[in-house]
Amino acid sequence: MPPPGPPLPFTEPFIKTLEEAASINFQDDPKWYASEPRCLISESTVNSFVTGTGDAVYRSLIPLLEATNHELILVTCFWARSSTLDSLNALLRKLSEKAIRRGNGKITVRLCFSSSSLFQKLFHKQSLRGQTYPKASWTKQFGLPDPSELEGLELHIKSIFILPFSVMHPKFILIDRQTVVLPSCNISWEEWFEGAITFSGPIVENFFQFYKRFWCRTENLRGLPAPASDSDYPNPQDADATATQDLQPNAPHGHTVTHISTASPSIPTVFLPSPHRRNPRFQPFASSSAVSAPPTPLNVFILNLLAQAARTIRIQSPNLTAPPVLSAILKALKRGVDVQILTSERLMILEQLVTAGTTTARCVKTLIKRYKKLAGSTAAQPTDEEAALSAPRIGVLRIAYFEPLNGSKARGKEEGEPQQSHLKMMIVDGEVVVLGSGNLDRASWFTSQELGVAFFDRGLVGQVEEAVNRGMRGRERLVFDGSKLVGRPTNRI
C-alpha cells in the first residue's frame, strides 16, 4: 500500500491556486511544474537535522559529503572566505585524493552561487546563463585550493545574479543525485543560528530537475553510473552518525545533530520553488492586505498554510517584512490560532530598507498595534451570556527577538556563539514543517529566487522542534505576549 499523501486541506487549495496561475508561472524560470503542479508533491526519507552556526553545520556535514563517489553539486547564495570555506576546501582536497586513489575517473564538483560582493553584483553579467570561471581565478577570486591540488576533480564554478535585486537565494547540496542537504547557511563568515536537514527518496529528483533546468540550461549532463554495490551510494545515516561523533565534543553550546526516527520511512513532501523576479512591485501607499505577491509555489503554499492553520503557527525567520504574510498572520489570529514568532530586531537593516522600504522592527510594531486593536474590539462583547459564549476568540500572539548568550560580540570574537538567527522555519498545527531558504521578507517574496520543502509528519515535526528549542534556549528576548490581552495563556507550540 502506498504511503498517504499530504492532507488534502493543505494541498488541494495549493494545487488549485497554482493551476489557476499557470499562465503567469509559464513566464517563470524554471517553470517545468507550471502545467502540472502535482509533480511538486513527492516523498522523502529524512535522516538528520542539525542546528548550530554555519561553520558547525558544515563541519557536521563533512563525513556525509566525503562519501561522494561521482558528483557533488553545491548551490549557495553568498560566497565568502571563512572557516566554512576552509572546511569545504579540505573536503575538495579529500575528494580529489579519493578519485586519484581509485583511478577510475574524476569526481564532478559543481559550485554555484549568486553573490560574493557588491562589486561583483554591480558588474555581473546580466543573463540567466550566468558567468563561469576559469581555473586561473579559483584561488585568488574564490579562496579555493590551487588547481594542482584538485586534479582528481572535474570542477565547475558558476554564478547568476540579475539587477536590481534578483539574488539566487537557495542553498542545497546534491550528493550523487541520491541525497539532499538543505541548509539555511551560506559559504560565509557569519556566526548565525542555522539549521540543515538531510534526506533522500523521490524528492531528490525535483532538486535535480531544478538544478539542471536553471543552472545547466543547455549543458549536457551525463548520467551517473549505476551503483556497483551498496557502498557505492552509502547510507546517509551512517555518515551522519560519524558527523555526530566528530561534532559533539567541540560543538559550541550544545549544537548537535539530531537523528530522525519516524513511524514511516516515506514522508509526504512538497517541493516549493520560487523563481526570481526583477519587478519588486513597490506599492508604498497600499495597505498590506492589498499587496499581492507573485503566485510562486513557495508563496502560494505558505499563504495556504497560514489560511488552513487551526490551532498553532510557529515562525522563525531572520526578517518579517512581507505584506501578504503580515496580513495572513493577523487573519489567523482573528480565527483563534495562536502565533509564535522569533525574528531579528536588527539584521541586514540596509538591505531591508532598500528591498522593502521598511524594517522588521517597524513591521513588528505595526503587527502588535493591529493585534491590540483586534483584541480590543473582540473584548467589547455583548453582556448576554449566550452571545458571549458564541463570540469569536482570537489567538494569542507571542513575538521574541533573537539575542545571543552574554550579549552581542564583534566579528571574530563570537567564539562559536550565534549572533543572529538565520534559520527559516514554519510549523503549523504540529503537522507540517517548512524549511529552506525563504525568509518572510519582501525580497524573498517578490524578487529573490528561493527554494523550500514542506514535510508532513508529526514525528519529524516534533523532533525538529525539539532540536530548535535546545539550540534557542536562553537566546530569545520576549517583545510581546498577548496572553494577558485575551485573558488566557498561549498554547505551547
pLDDT recorded at residue 235:
60
Return d(Cα 251, Cα 60) in angstroms, integer: 9
User: What is the structure's pLDDT at 284?
Assistant: 61
* Class at the top of the CATH hierarchy for domain 270-379+391-486: alpha beta
- Among 274, 230, 239, 318, smallest CA distance to 453 is for 274
Residue linked to cell 522555519:
425
pLDDT of residue 379: 61
**What are the pLDDT digits (tens) for 174-185?**
999 999 999 999
The residues of the chain scoring below 70 in pLDDT are 1-4, 227-256, 283-290, 379-392, 488-493
| Alpha carbons 397 and 355: distance in angstroms, whole number | 27
Domains 47-259 and 270-379+391-486 share a fold: yes
pLDDT score at 254? 43
pLDDT at 490: 62
pLDDT for the residue 442: 92
pLDDT value, residue 55: 93
Q: What is the pLDDT of residue 351?
A: 84
Specify the CATH superfamily of domain 47-259: Endonuclease Chain A (3.30.870.10)
- DSSP letters along 185-238, please? --BS---EEEEEEEEESTHHHHHHHHHIIIIITT--PPPPPPPSSGGGS--HHH
Q: Give the pLDDT score at 264.
A: 77
- In this prediction, residue 484 carries a pLDDT of 84
pLDDT, residue 265, reads: 86
Determine the pLDDT at residue 256: 67
**Domain-wise residue ranges, the chain:** 47-259, 270-379+391-486
d(CA 213, CA 201): 20
96: three-class secondary structure by DSSP: helix
The pLDDT value recorded for residue 346 is 86
Q: How far apart are CA 214 and CA 218, in angstroms?
A: 10
